[in-house]
Amino acid sequence: MPDITAITAELHAAGIDADRVITDRTAMTCYGYDATRQSRPPLLVVLPQSTVEVAAALKTAAAHRLPVFTRGAGSGMSGGTIPTGAGMVLSLTMMTRVLELDLENFMVTVEPGIITKELQEAVAAHGLWYPPDPASLAFSTLGGNVAENAGGPCAVKYGVTGEYVRGLEVVLADGTVITTGNKCVKSVSGYDLTRLFVGSEGTLGVITKILLRLLPPPAARRTQLLAFADMGTAAETITAMFRRRLVPATIEFLDHHSIAAIRQELPFALPPAARALLLVEIDGEPETVDRDAERLRELVAPTAIAVITAADERERDTLWQARRALSPAIARIAPHKLNEDIAVPRASIPAIIARIDAIAAEVELPIVCFGHAGDGNIHVNVMLDKTDPGQAERGERAVAEIFRATVGLGGTLSGEHGIGNTKSAFLPLEWDAPTIATMRAVKLALDPENRLNPGKIFPPDFHDHIS
């Protein structure tokens, strides 16, 4: 049994004040959950304020052989931050500084606890733009975004978090501090360790600084809502757009369940026949935006049953608010949901949608689909009542079937949420044994005792093997 008194004494000696080390058992409940509704209190919680303090905490954890679970805002959707054992939770939410804004090189260095939206506002004040826009951007932290390699609607054109990360400062399992990457656009010296840590879900080290590249913001954008009579036509329209070389910044789609859930919140009436919606945003220079919006209208004229253009920023905000409120809004359909965020190559969207429809019919459960159709990333929600054993079993079967269909189409288990502990059992479905063995070799090289976020990413037998 770890000696809590000795551990807290060491942390205090390292300069971490008493009010930033929490050991009260019930108090820790508020640092042991995330958006998956799992909750497990750890052994202790530490709220460091600097790299030095993070390093000290990791040294202490190493000395006492404690598992370490790093967390930000706890908005993760795959259980990435859930303490799976009696260990130390490192909450990095107090490390919120913008360390350097390099206006010449379009680069910004931040601490991991800064909230994504705060970063966007900070750089926007200087006429720059940080594009990644996860739905949780008003509260999720950048550290969490990097650790899960989060994406958002604008990934279609601008990519995900990882594509903006140019360098990191990372504290390793034994407390050693390393630096990766630099401000150079071209940089090929040594292994690309930055890429290794992006999306590593807290299993390889603790990220304490993040160097990000920025873009100038687009001068104009046009937001349109396209309504279709069925999902198949909507899915076909997406592929048709790209075939015409039309690349919107975002293409979000909503199925008929989603439409029913938010119909009330939309600023205008939808045709009753609408059973699928596409929210399309085109950005760029004013002239090209107008031209592309016109091309889009021509393209969908034969198939769409309604085309609505947001008249102003307020209407655009309302549309996006409705879209972001979807996840909680569909909770009204059934008491529980199994939500996955599969992704397929965008050309396979019609195929995966058709397959999910068939699976829903087979298991006799509503499956709500919405998400980032433009990049093939679909939020699939199997709605059920878990207290009904029959539904619970059918729900699990549906998820397994969806994963199989996804992988069969060249897709992936997770587009942006990460594997965490909710999808780890399915990893062998996507990757063969030698590939997982390679990941394992990397993991053990950096964390031989499997103390950094154990129980995540790898299938359960890996962790049994280690301990």
Partner 1 sequence: MAVCPLYRHTRREEMVARGKLALFAADLERPAGEPLPTFHRHAIDHCLLCHSCEANCPKGVKITDLVIAAREEIAREAGLPPGKRLFFALLGGKIPGLARMLKFGALFQGLAWRRIPQSSGLRRRLPFPLTDDHTVIPRLPRRQLADFLRARKPADSGPPVIFFPGCAISYLFPEIGRATIRVLERLGFTVLVPKFVCCGTAARAAGDRNTADNLQHQNHELLAALPLGAPVITACATCGHALMRYDLGGRRAVDISVFLMEHRARLETLLAGRTLDLDVTCHDPCHLRKGQGVIREPRELLDLITGNRFRDLAHPELCCGSGGTFGVTHRELSRTIQAEKIAEITATGATVAASGCPGCLIQLREGLTNAGTAITAEHPVVLLDRLLG
Among 138, 184, 273, 358, binds partner 1 (CB under 8 A): 138
Beta bridge partners of 33: 39
- CA atoms of 327 and 36, how far apart (whole Å): 12
- The reply on whether position 78 binds partner 1 by CB under 8 A is no
Beta bridge partners of 39: 33
Nearer to partner 1, 138 or 361 (CB): 138
Neighbours of 308 (CB within 10 A): 20
- CA atoms of 310 and 287, how far apart (whole Å): 17
- The reply on whether position 331 binds partner 1 by CB under 8 A is yes
Tokens 């054993």 appear where? 389
Binding window for partner 1 (CB under 8 A); candidates: 93-101, 298-306, 362-370, 381-389:
93-101
Can you spell out the DSSP letters for 230-280? SHHHHHHHHHHHHHTT---SEEEEEEHHHHHHHGGGSSSPPPTT--EEEEE
Can you spell out the DSSP letters for 109-154? EE-TTSBHHHHHHHHHTTT-B-----TTTTT-BHHHHHHHT---TT
Nearer to partner 1, 162 or 371 (CB): 371
Among 42, 67, 74, 418, binds partner 1 (CB under 8 A): 74
Among 94, 196, 260, 407, binds partner 1 (CB under 8 A): 94
Among 7, 11, 16, 33, binds partner 1 (CB under 8 A): 33
- The reply on whether position 96 binds partner 1 by CB under 8 A is yes
For the chain, what is the total number of helices (H) and then of strands (E)?
Answer: 16, 16
Question: To 5 degrees, how large is the angle CA 66–CA 71–CA 72?
Answer: 155
- The reply on whether position 30 binds partner 1 by CB under 8 A is yes
- The reply on whether position 139 binds partner 1 by CB under 8 A is yes
Binding window for partner 1 (CB under 8 A); candidates: 53-61, 323-331, 374-382, 390-398:
323-331
- The reply on whether position 117 binds partner 1 by CB under 8 A is yes
- The reply on whether position 39 binds partner 1 by CB under 8 A is yes
- The reply on whether position 264 binds partner 1 by CB under 8 A is no
Minimal distance, residue 357 CB to partner 1, in Å = 27
Nearer to partner 1, 122 or 409 (CB): 122
Virtual torsion, Cα 201, 204, 206, 210, nearest 10 deg: -80
- CA atoms of 212 and 99, how far apart (whole Å): 11
With contacts defined by CB under 8 A, how many residues of the chain interact with partner 1? 26
Can you spell out the DSSP letters for 358-372? HHHHHHTS-EEEEEE
Minimal distance, residue 111 CB to partner 1, in Å = 11
Nearer to partner 1, 30 or 103 (CB): 30
- The reply on whether position 115 binds partner 1 by CB under 8 A is yes
Q: Where are the alpha helices (DSSP H) in 18-81?
A: 51-63
Beta bridge partners of 384: 336
Minimal distance, residue 125 CB to partner 1, in Å = 9
Tokens of residue 8, six digits: 């807290």
Which residue ranges make up the site for partner 1 (CB under 8 A)? 22, 24, 26-27, 29-31, 33, 39, 47, 73-75, 91, 93-94, 96, 113, 115, 117, 138-139, 325, 328-329, 331
